[in-house]
Homo-oligomer: A and B are copies of this chain.
Amino acid sequence: MKELIKLVDEYLDKYLPISYPEDIFKAMKYTLSLPGKRLRPVMCLETARMLGGDMMKAMPTACAIEMLHVQSLIHDDLPCMDNDDFRRGKPSNHKVFGEANAVLAGDALLTLAPQTIIEKSAGLTSEQLVQIIHEYTKFAGAYGLIAGQVVDIESEGGKYIKSPEETLDFIHLNKTAVLFRLAVRCGAIIANASKDTAEEMDEFAKNFGLAFQIYDDIMDETSTFEEMGKTIGKDKNSGKLTYVSLYGLEEAKQKFNSMLKNCYAIIDKYDTKVIKEILNKIKSRISGV
């Protein structure tokens, strides 16, 4: 796991050389290079590998998904959105580079991601590239990540789909699960996996995404700024809809366990230390709460 994170960090650095005009590249690199768990790229690489593909062929796509993730963090932190001053333990992008550059750095990452997939993916066919970029656009845009963000903002104003429960699942299937889905689906494309296998991994990613969000909500209630690297207790203090605020801590933990069980049921079939390590890690942290 540590080796994979290191590898992802190296390639993220390599795929984004500082060019002219330097300020925008520095702003892009700043948030992209903050130490992170790199869960999404690692899931992509590991899915490609465990399904019989060449892991290194997945590196550009894995890094592109992290670029997309970081883009969403930069824009989410803006004063007009979540107005968050910290990210991964450091001042957020607009606090360092100003709002205009933070908007543009996000835009630039959103475009650099597919550019990296096209330019760096030696060994993939044009058909595979088109499939991967198609997945990217479906999950990154108004039918995916942005739908989740919009409904999240609206829910803060008390506007729900039908019920708060349905709204919360919609938000996080789109805001959180969507990037894990993108990661494993692209991994499956790169490994030339069967449609059934790809669908099963997609099911894994939906369960993992929601479990990971519940984990995050529980941690937001129970951990510290030092542990999480971002403002803690903010959701609670702002009365935000979360799995803990809606279901209470115990029921949220039950939901987490049930989704994690679904994840293991799929992943146990495969030879993947890495993904099991990720599941074990968040499981043990939640058991300790």
Taking beta carbons and an 8 Å cutoff, which residues of A are in contact with B? 19-21, 23-25, 28, 71, 75, 78, 80-81, 98-101, 103-104, 106-108, 110-112, 114-115, 118-119, 125-127, 129-130, 133-134, 136-138, 140-143, 146-147, 149-151, 153-154
- Within the complex, the shortest CB–CB distance from A53 to chain B, in Å, comes to 19
Chain B residues, CB < 8 A from A138:
115
How far, in angstroms, from A67 to B100 measured CA to CA in the complex? 20
This chain: copies in complex: 2
Q: Is the CB of B146 within 8 A of A24?
A: yes
Q: How far is the CA of A130 from the CA of B106 in the complex (A)?
A: 23
Q: Which DSSP category, helix, strand, loop or mixed, fits chain A's interface? A: helix
Going nearest first, the 9 A-B pairs with the smallest beta carbon separation are A111-B141, A115-B137, A80-B99, A126-B126, A108-B142, A24-B150, A111-B140, A21-B150, A118-B134
Interface centre among A106, A107, A142 (most CB of B within 10 A): A142
Q: Which of B75, B80, B100 sits near A107, CB closer than 8 Å?
A: B75
The one of B71, B81, B107, B153 in contact with A146, judged by C-beta atoms closer than 8 angstroms, is B107
By a CB distance below 8 angstroms, the chain B residues around A114 are: 114, 133, 137
